[in-house]
Amino acid sequence: MMAKDYYATLGVDKSASKDEIKKAFRKLAHEHHPDKGGDEQKFKEANEAYQVLSDETKKQQYDQYGQTFDGAGGGGFPGGGFSGQGMNFEDLGDIFGNMFGGGFSSGFGGGGGRRAEKGSDVAVDVKLSFKESVFGVEKEINVTKNNTCERCAGTGGEPGVSMTTCKGCDGQGMKTTVQRTILGNMQARVACEECHGNGEIPEKKCTTCNGEGLEYGRKTLRVDIPPGVEDGMKIRVRGEGESIGVRGQKGDLYLILHVDVDPRFERDGDKIYVEKKIGFTQAALGDEVEVDTVDGKVKLKIPAGTQSGDKLRMKGKGVSMGRGRGDQIVIIKVVTPKKLGRKERKLMEELDLKE
């Protein structure tokens, strides 16, 4: 019988990393889990493949011989149903917990610990000028979302009242239920609905949020945008996303940066490129000209004999990226006059004869 192609089952390459293998299995587990109306056989196949490819020893044996030698399933692989041998219940518990909203454990082991809930992340678009992206700036950000109730500070109780142990969960914040799955009975640890997983209940609910610990509204933040950011970058502000009050932690706020184009400048890493047009005589004899920089206009010496396309460096006039500022590169473009008067033409002819 031909060996099963576990890499094809999970849809990954043989060179896939552990994280890529785990991610592929999670996706298939969510898609094919029978309790979600999926294909039970495909779920079994995905799990079988994952148990081998997620284990370094089994994976090495499989890659070398096309099978493993741990005796699972009577023929090298767990092929005839699930006995629990060699399974990574830590990963499965994490996956099922995400599906059903609690922490899972197998019927063979102890229950999982309390799982803290977290509010949703929030994304906000932030516009920056080119100069702001170079030097950094403090921005005022307005976010409309669920915020922690100011009156009760998120406890859900009136200020000054005592908190009592929740009788529904004996102060644990979690309850244990049993779910039947194709892997056998699985213990599910779910948040207590009476105390929202907090383990305590206030003697009197907050009159502003009715015990939820939440207020919906606009919050204004001042956020420092560091120097050297680029268009499309994201900045994470921890704990400034959606609040879920007494049920757990706040989500995070992500600032998505949009940098305006400045037609004078072109950026590449910590360097800024500009084009400077000069006349023929300036190029031939040399000169001092003004050049636009993000600091304002700065004088630049043009050496005699400069050619069109030459690049002149202005040190320290580029972008700051945490290790000092980069440079500005000035690309010279020599402009040749389209029309010459008699005098100018004669001078040019004399120069040509001398050359």
Structural tokens at position 304: 């005699």
pLDDT of residue 52: 87
Taking only the tens place, the pLDDT of each residue in 324-339 is: 899 999 999 999 877 7
pLDDT of residue 182: 62
Helix 89-100 to helix 18-32 angle (10° resolution) is 50
Using CA atoms, how far residue 76 sits from 19, 47, 51, in Å, is: 24, 15, 12
Annotated binding-site residue? 169: yes
Annotated binding-site residue? 83: no
pLDDT of residue 291: 97
pLDDT of residue 299: 97
CATH 1.10.287.110: which residues of the chain?
Answer: 6-87
pTM: 0.58
Annotated binding-site residue? 209: yes
Render the burial of 260-299: b for 16+ CB within 10 Å, e for the rest. Answer: eebeebebeebbbebeeebeeebbeeebebebbbbeeeee
Annotated binding-site residue? 329: no
Backbone angles phi, psi at 9, to 5 degrees: -60, -45
Q: Which CATH architecture has domain 119-157+208-260?
A: Sandwich (2.60)
The CATH number of 6-87 is 1.10.287.110
Which portions of the chain are predicted below pLDDT 70? 1-3, 33-37, 65, 67-116, 181-184, 246-247, 350-355
| The total number of residues written for the chain in this structure | 355
Structural tokens at position 42: 């495909």
pLDDT of residue 307: 96
Annotated binding-site residue? 149: yes
- CA atoms of 90 and 244, how far apart (whole Å): 26
Annotated binding-site residue? 192: yes
Does domain 266-354 sit in CATH 2.60.260.20?
yes
pLDDT of residue 347: 74
CATH 2.60.260.20: which residues of the chain?
Answer: 119-157+208-260, 266-354
